[in-house]
Amino acid sequence: MAKAERTKYLIIGNSAGGIGAAEAIRQVDEVGTMTIVSDEPYPAYSRPLISEYLAEKRPLERMLFRPSDFYEKHNIQAILGRKAEQLNSDEHTIKLDDGRKIIWERLLLATGGVPIVPGIEGIGLKGVFTFTKLDDAKAIDEFLNQHQARKVRGVVIGGGLIGVSVTEALRKREIDITIVEMRERLLNTILDEETSALEAETLRRGGVEIITGHTVAKVSSYLDGEASGVTLDDGRSLPCEMVIVAIGVRPRTEFVSDTKIKVNRGIMVDRYMATSSPDVYACGDVAEAYDFVYGENRLTPIWPNAYIGGRVAGFNMAAIPTEYRGGTAMNSLKYFGLDVVSAGMVMPPDASYEVIRAKYGQACKKVILKDGLIMGMVFSGDIEKSGIVYNLMKDRVKVGAFQQALVAEDFGLVSLPEEIWRPHLEIPSAIADTSVISMEQAEEVIAGE
Amino acid sequence: MKRIYIKEQACIACHLCEVHCQRQHSQSKDFIKAFKRESPRPLPRVRVEEKGALSFSVRCQQCEDAPCAQACLTGAITRDPISGAVTVDEEKCVGCWTCLLVCPFAAIRQDAEQGKTVRCDLCQGADMPVCVVNCPNEALIYTEVDI
Residues A340-395 pLDDT 10s: 999 999 999 999 999 999 999 999 999 999 999 999 999 999 999 999 999 999 99
Residues B91, B79: Cα–Cα separation, whole Å: 16
- Is pLDDT of B55 > 70? yes
Tell me the shortest Cα–Cα distance from A344 to chain B, in angstroms.
Answer: 12
- Is pLDDT of B105 > 60? yes
Residues A94, A84: Cα–Cα separation, whole Å: 7
What ipTM describes this predicted complex?
Answer: 0.97
Mutate to test the interface with A, among B43, B51, B105, B144 (most CBs of A within 10 A): B105
* Domains of chain A (ranges, CATH numbers): 5-114+251-317 (3.50.50.60), 128-247 (3.50.50.60), 339-425 (3.30.390.30)
Residues A272-288 pLDDT 10s: 999 999 999 999 999 99
Fold of B1-59+126-147: Alpha-Beta Plaits (3.30.70)
Asked whether the beta carbons of residue B74 and residue A46 sit closer than 8 angstroms, the reply is yes
Q: Which sequence spans correspond to the domains of chain B? A: 1-59+126-147, 64-119
**Residues of chain B found within 8 Å of residue A438, distances taken between Cβ atoms:** 9-10
**Residues of chain A found within 8 Å of residue B53, distances taken between Cβ atoms:** 439
Residues A56-104 pLDDT 10s: 999 999 999 999 999 999 999 999 999 999 999 999 999 999 999 999 9
Residues A227, A126: Cα–Cα separation, whole Å: 6
- Is pLDDT of A122 > 80? yes
**Residues of chain A found within 8 Å of residue B110, distances taken between Cβ atoms:** 339, 383-384
pLDDT confidence tier of residue B1, bands split at 50, 70 and 90: confident
Q: How far lies A226's CA from each of A140, A148, A171, B59, in Å?
A: 14, 16, 22, 55
Mutate to test the interface with A, among B12, B51, B74, B101 (most CBs of A within 10 A): B101
Query: CA nearest B19: which of B36, B7, B2?
Result: B36
Q: How many CB atoms lie within 10 A of CB A125?
A: 17
Residues A312, A330: Cα–Cα separation, whole Å: 19
pLDDT confidence tier of residue A325, bands split at 50, 70 and 90: very high
The whole-number average pLDDT for the span A2-15 is 93
- Report pLDDT for A235: 97
Query: CA nearest B51: which of A418, A284, A291?
Result: A418
**Residues of chain B found within 8 Å of residue A46, distances taken between Cβ atoms:** 73-75
Q: Do domains B1-59+126-147 and B64-119 have the same CATH topology?
A: yes
Residues A291, B6: Cα–Cα separation, whole Å: 34
The whole-number average pLDDT for the span A227-256 is 96
The whole-number average pLDDT for the span A234-242 is 97
- Report pLDDT for A163: 98
Asked whether the beta carbons of residue A341 and residue B97 sit closer than 8 angstroms, the reply is yes
**Residues of chain B found within 8 Å of residue A391, distances taken between Cβ atoms:** 102-104
Residues A15-50 pLDDT 10s: 999 999 999 999 999 999 999 999 999 999 999 999
In DSSP terms, A230 is beta-bridged to A219, A238
CATH class for domain B64-119?
alpha beta
Residues A62, B91: Cα–Cα separation, whole Å: 8
Side chain identity at residue A267, one-letter code: I
Residues B44, B28: Cα–Cα separation, whole Å: 14
Dihedral angle, C-alpha A167, A173, A176, A181, nearest 10 °: -10
Tell me the shortest Cα–Cα distance from A308 to chain B, in angstroms.
Answer: 6
DSSP helix, strand, coil percent of chain B (3-state; round to 5):
25, 20, 55
